[in-house]
Amino acid sequence: MMKEQTIHNLHKARTAHVRTLNTVKLLVSGLNVDESQFKLGQTETAFGKWFHEEAMLFSTGNSRIHLEAIETLLLQLHDHFTKIYKIYFANNSGGIMGLFGKKNRPSDAEKELAKRLYDEMIAFSDELKQKLRIFESQLSSMPEEKFAQTAYIPIETPASEPEEEDDAQYHFGARGH
């Protein structure tokens, strides 16, 4: 069950990555895309969460090399996305025109740069999907026992009682006692 769920989560992460890339394509193609559809933090995206919370648990075995390659590709994709995001959204509310709700449009040169960055993102994405297929086959071939040892199971920690403050204790800082 844990193996099947992890592979299912990998498929969901791959789908989320493709959706994000398609949204970037719409943006670069000149369509109006709401800024709120994008997550700027690498670990805020569905793919980033999956990668850092679940996939990295398997980085100690044979999958380490592929996970390192996936991480490199993920960083490159995020870098390119950040540059595209700045082109389309960083200038939106600057200056006095921003007070009147007018948005600055990217220049033709900026649009061309965004298209080139997007084309590079497509190449990175293709490579990423290939690495994900290899990682998926490694997960599928992993014995259930080894899988169970590697899988993350959150442990609930009991809430500790708050410590009582000792007024005689020395306090560090500019206004310590």
Output the pLDDT for position 5. 86
Output the pLDDT for position 177. 47
Low-confidence stretches of the chain (pLDDT < 50) are 1, 97-99, 154-155, 157, 173, 176-177
The angle that helices 2-28 and 108-141 make with each other, rounded to 10 degrees, is 170
Q: Tens of pLDDT along 144-153?
A: 887 777 755 5
Q: For the chain, first and last CA: distance in Å? A: 57
Output the pLDDT for position 42. 77
Instruction: Report how far residue 82's alpha carbon sits from residue 118's, in angstroms, rounded to the nearest whole number.
Output: 11
Instruction: Report how far residue 55's alpha carbon sits from residue 68's, in angstroms, rounded to the nearest whole number.
Output: 11
Report the predicted TM-score, pTM, of the whole model to 2 decimal places: 0.74
The H-assigned helical ranges of 29-63 are 46-53
Output the pLDDT for position 11. 95
